[in-house]
Amino acid sequence: MAPFEALHERRCRSRIGWFEVGEAELIGLDLVRQAMEKVKFIKERLKIAQSHQKSYSDVCRRDLEFKEDDWVVGDPSAIMPIETIEVNEELSYKENPVFILDMQVRKLRNKEITSIKVLWRNQQVEEATWEAEEEIKNKYPYLFE
């Protein structure tokens, strides 16, 4: 007894017997032809749209020439003061915690996790992040005094 027969209690029907012998008619030929026509139509539309965009950009585009003494008015929001950040040999910098801003307790099914919001300072930059209380207590015990 074959394993299929033992499992399903009937003989396995192979796909060979599902088809009749003889020439098969290709059903998808018309479908492929229609799809190719649609693809050609879409390509033509894309070419037209691209040519419209190119002609528009060609009209608006002009060559700019600057001389050495020309004044250029830029966007003042893009101008930022240059800050010097001291970087050690490993190309990293040390952030120092200033103080604790907030505390929250997340309750899980059988334990509670305490998170604290720490204000960090590095030279002129200040930012606050949520950290696990245990890690901060171990690294910076003076914050909890």
pLDDT in tens, 74-133: 766 666 666 666 777 777 777 888 888 899 999 988 989 899 999 888 766 778 889 999
State the Cα–Cα distance between residues 32 and 115, nearest whole angstrom.
61
Q: Which of 86 and 61 is assigned the larger pLDDT?
A: 61
Q: What is the pTM of this model?
A: 0.39
Write the DSSP assignment of the chain as a string of letters: --HHHHHHSS----GGGGS-SSPPP-SHHHHHHHHHHHHHHHHHHHHHHHHHHHHHHHHH-------TT------GGG----------TTS----EEEEEEEEEEEE-SS-EEEEEEEEEEETTEEEEEEEEHHHHHHH-GGGG-
- Give the pLDDT of residue 67: 80
- Give the pLDDT of residue 40: 97
Fold of 95-144: OB fold (Dihydrolipoamide Acetyltransferase, E2P) (2.40.50)
- Give the pLDDT of residue 84: 66
Percentage of the chain exceeding pLDDT 70: 81
pLDDT grade, residue 4 (50/70/90)?
Answer: confident
